[in-house]
C-alpha cells in the first residue's frame, strides 16, 4: 500500500501543539462548579489511572458524553501532561479536570450533595444495563491493573459490571469508561 504524499513524514495529531486553557481544579473548585449546575451532575471519577494514553482517551469520551467534570486523586494518578492533552485531541479544553487530595472524602462530599456514586467492578453482581443512571451521577472507574481500591469501592452506592463473554477477563479502563458513560447518556436522554 502506498502512503498518502500529504501525510508522508507527518506522524503527529493536528492538536498536538496546543496548550490547554483549562487549569486543574481542586476540591473547592469542584464543589463550586457543582453548585452552579442547572441540571443533574454527571461526573467521571478515575481512581489511580496512571497511563497518560488512558487518561487522554477518558477525557475525550467524557467530553463527547457531556460530563461536567473529571475527578482524579493527586497521588498515584497521571495529571494533564502534554501526552494526555495530545491524546485527548482538544477534549482537555472542554472538560474541567479536578485533582483532589483525598478521593474517599470527595466521594463522601458528592454523596452529601445527592450525587449517586456508581463504581465499575468486574466482580459486581449488577449489570450497567440494570442500574439507574438518570439522576445526579458520578461514575467511578478503577486503575489499569487493580481496578477500584477497597476504600473507593466501599464509598460507592452501587457497584456495576459490563456484561462480557468469558473470552475476555477485563477491558481497558478507557474503553470501559466509554461504555459506562454512554450507557448513562442513553438512559439520561430517554423521555420520562
pLDDT score of 55 more than 90: no
Residue 22 has pLDDT above 80, yes or no: no
| Mean predicted confidence (pLDDT) in 182-189 | 93
Residue 5 confidence (pLDDT): 43
CATH of the domain at 28: 3.40.1280.10
- Of the spans 58-62, 83-87, 177-181, which averages the highest pLDDT? 177-181
Residue 34 above 80 pLDDT?
Answer: yes
pLDDT(154) > 60: yes
In a domain, 1, yes or no: no
Rounded mean pLDDT, 30-40: 89
153: its cell numbers: 469501592
Domain membership of residue 44 (yes or no) is yes
83 within a domain of the structure (yes/no): yes
Question: Does residue 9 belong to any structural domain of this protein?
Answer: no
Q: Is residue 93 part of a domain?
A: yes
In this prediction, residue 191 carries a pLDDT of 54
Q: Which residue has the higher pLDDT, 29 or 183?
A: 183
**Is 5 within the bounds of a domain?**
no
Q: Provide the mean pLDDT of the chain.
A: 81
Contacts 24+ apart (CB under 8 A), 25-29: 25/69, 25/96, 25/97, 25/98, 25/99, 26/98, 26/99, 26/100, 27/98, 27/100, 27/101, 27/105, 27/106, 27/109, 29/96, 29/98
Mean pLDDT to the nearest integer, 163-168? 80
pLDDT on residue 188: 92
Q: Tell me: the pLDDT tens digits for 4-21? A: 444 444 334 444 344 444
* 3-state helix/strand/coil string of the chain: CCCCCCCCCCCCCCCCCCCCCCCEECHHHHHHHHHCCCCCCEEEEECCCCCHHHHHHHHHHHHHHCCCEEEEECCCCCCCCHHHHHHHCCHHHCCCEEEECCHHHHHHHHHHCCCEEEEECCCCCEECCCCCCCCCEEEEECECCCECCHHHHHHCCEEEECCCCCCCCCCCHHHHHHHHHHHHHHHHHCCC
Write down the pLDDT at residue 18: 40
Yes or no: say if 144 and 173 are a contact pair by the CB < 8 Å rule: yes
> What's the domain count of the chain?
1
Higher pLDDT, 172 or 46: 46
For residue 3, being part of any structural domain is answered with no
Q: pLDDT, tens digit, for every residue of 119-129?
A: 998 888 899 99
* Range of the structural domain that residue 34 is part of: 24-189
pLDDT at residue 53 above 80? yes
Is 167 within the bounds of a domain?
yes
Is residue 177's pLDDT more than 80? yes
Quick one: pLDDT at residue 134?
Answer: 92
Amino acid at each position: 500500500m502506498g502512503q498518502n504524499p500529504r501525510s508522508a513524514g507527518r506522524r503527529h495529531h493536528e492538536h498536538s501543539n496546543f496548550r490547554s486553557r483549562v487549569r486543574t481544579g481542586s476540591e473547592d473548585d469542584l464543589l463550586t462548579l457543582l453548585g452552579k449546575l442547572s441540571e443533574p451532575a454527571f461526573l467521571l471519577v478515575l481512581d489511580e489511572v496512571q497511563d497518560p494514553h488512558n487518561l487522554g482517551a477518558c477525557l475525550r469520551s467524557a467530553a463527547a458524553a457531556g460530563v461536567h467534570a473529571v475527578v482524579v486523586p493527586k497521588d498515584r494518578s497521571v495529571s494533564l501532561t502534554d501526552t494526555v492533552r495530545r491524546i485527548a485531541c482538544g477534549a482537555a479544553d472542554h472538560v474541567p479536570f479536578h485533582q483532589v487530595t483525598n478521593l474517599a472524602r470527595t466521594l463522601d462530599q458528592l454523596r452529601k450533595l445527592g450525587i449517586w456514586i456508581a463504581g465499575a467492578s468486574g466482580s459486581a453482581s449488577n449489570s450497567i444495563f440494570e442500574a439507574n443512571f438518570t439522576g445526579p451521577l458520578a461514575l467511578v472507574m478503577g486503575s489499569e491493573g487493580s481496578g477500584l481500591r477497597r476504600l473507593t469501592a466501599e464509598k460507592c452506592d452501587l457497584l456495576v459490571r459490563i456484561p462480557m463473554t468469558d473470552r475476555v477477563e477485563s477491558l481497558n479502563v478507557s474503553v470501559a469508561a466509554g461504555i459506562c458513560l454512554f450507557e448513562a447518556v442513553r438512559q439520561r436522554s430517554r423521555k420520562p
